[in-house]
Amino acid sequence: MYITEDNMRLENELEGDGPFEALLLMPLVVDITTERVLFGSLAANIQLYTPKAREIQLTCSTGGATIKEQRARWERKRIRTAKELVETEQRYFEQLELVVVYFIEILKAKGTLQPDIRDDIFCTLKAIHSINRTLLSNLEDGKFGLAFDIFCPQLQLYTTYTDNMEHAVKVLQEQMRKNKRFARFKKLQESRPEFQGLTLEDLLPLPRKRVYQYKHLLRDLTENTSPDSPDFEQLTSAVKAVSEVSQHIQDQARRHENYLQMLRVQKLLKGHRSKVLAPGRKYIREGWLAIVPPKGEELKHKMFFLLSDILLMTKPCHPLHPVHSDKFAWQKAYPLIEGTVEKVFGHTKSQGGLISLTFPEETLLVMSNDQEDINDWYRCLSAAIGQLRSRSVFIQRKDNLARRPIRSINNSTPMEIYTIAPKSGGKRSLNTDQNQLKDLNAKSQPMNEGTRAKRIRLEPNATIRHPDAAGPVVEQKGTNCIIL
């Protein structure tokens, strides 16, 4: 703890050397877990150890309870959460065991399903049953931190299982239609008293639901566990790991729900142009809106489908159509990135509302008699257009940052390695080489010593003497290359 002037003055006041009554007028916050008394912004995060501060800590209360009573309340919450965790885990494990014993093991022994089909339906459920047996054993022994410390590294089994969930449901439905032997077996097993009226379709989603329960139960357990407890760090890590898996499952469920909505819209549209399924495209909403014509004609009611990047305008097919009587005909798709949306006031006499949609090729004035509905349309359109434009700006900035900057000739540092090519049809002259090198050196920019490139100088008829050599000087004819 750092001793500051404010801290010393505050401590003196708490010991009776100053106007303690003035201190009581300041907003008081008690951090019970770290045993700190915080007085407003003056003594934020200052830990006090004086006897008077201890007395204040023990007598201050939230709701009339002392610190000891508050700690006792937290302990009761922790015990209650721990009990709920153990009891729900026991029930969850029993249900897992029903699937493993009465379906997976028997189907494997009888060969009612082929191994690949059986794996498609049950995926990693047997492995999940195995790791939860260990988890339940540790939880029943009261080893909550150790239990989840062993369990969390194997959460990938839950991720794999939930990612395969939709495919498993499709394969199960297909086998129920095609494999009569499996259909009879499934009905017989579900009629056992152990299942208590549950079907296989009810039991398969249990691991996905259990991850959500782990997230909330672990968070409550950690919040009511003392930081001094040996389980606190392990439980904190478990909350983080389970929350990540839970978020992954939620994102996966959201993507699947969006896919189902897009598939439904695709089936509602007719025509070869009605291809709405596209990577990254999301369904937002749909509904009837009336188009206000510019020349005072009758209102035209259209069905609009708002997706994340386009607004589809459709009209209903003829009710007597032999095939497409319940579908909509594609009329036009408006790209939202090019559009703007505005509210129009004063034209509906306090009922409903008007929205102006402006695109490069057309401007639409749409109307609804429901005020709440038109407001929701405006919010959804504004949000979709705003997200598209912000994403476009982000991608453009990212592209600009990814580009390599173009250096100017004056700012660049050339590597002064010169290759002097002789003129074709002529002899190479030493004087010509030297003149060319002088011109190049004169044009080059000065460089720092750390980055100075090596320069080449050609000297004719250089005389070389080794410093340690004894004897006459040796003259060499020709051109010597000296690196400076």
Residue 386: the pLDDT is: 93
Q: What is the 3 state secondary structure string of 419-450?
A: CCCCCCCCCCCHHHHHHHHHHHHHHCCCCCCC
In whole angstroms, what is the distance from residue 120 CA to residue 253 CA?
A: 18
Give φ, ψ of 283 to 5 degrees: -85, 135
Residue 7, sorted as left (phi over 0), alpha (psi -120 to 50) or beta, turns out to be: alpha
Q: Which of 423, 422, 456 is nearest to 440 (CA)?
A: 456
The CATH class that applies to domain 271-399 reads mainly beta
Give φ, ψ of 394 to 5 degrees: -65, -45
What pTM value is reported for the model? 0.60
For residue 443 the two structure tokens come to: 């044009």
Looking at the domain that runs over 70-258, which CATH code has it been given?
A: 1.20.900.10
Residues whose CB is less than 8 angstroms from the CB of residue 352 and which lie 6 or more positions away in sequence, other chains included: 367, 368, 369, 370, 371, 373, 374
Number of Cβ atoms within 10 Å of the Cβ of 336 = 23
Q: What is the pLDDT of residues 5-55, one digit of tens each?
A: 444 444 444 444 343 333 333 333 334 333 333 333 333 333 333 333 434
Domain extents for the chain?
70-258, 271-399
- pLDDT(74) > 60: yes
Q: What is the pLDDT of residues 79-123, one digit of tens each?
A: 999 999 999 999 999 999 999 999 999 999 999 999 999 999 999
In whole angstroms, what is the distance from residue 155 CA to residue 211 CA?
A: 9
Residues whose CB is less than 8 angstroms from the CB of residue 383 and which lie 6 or more positions away in sequence, other chains included: none
Beta strands in 172-316 (DSSP E): 269-270, 283-291, 300-307, 310-316
356 sits in which H/E element: strand 353-358
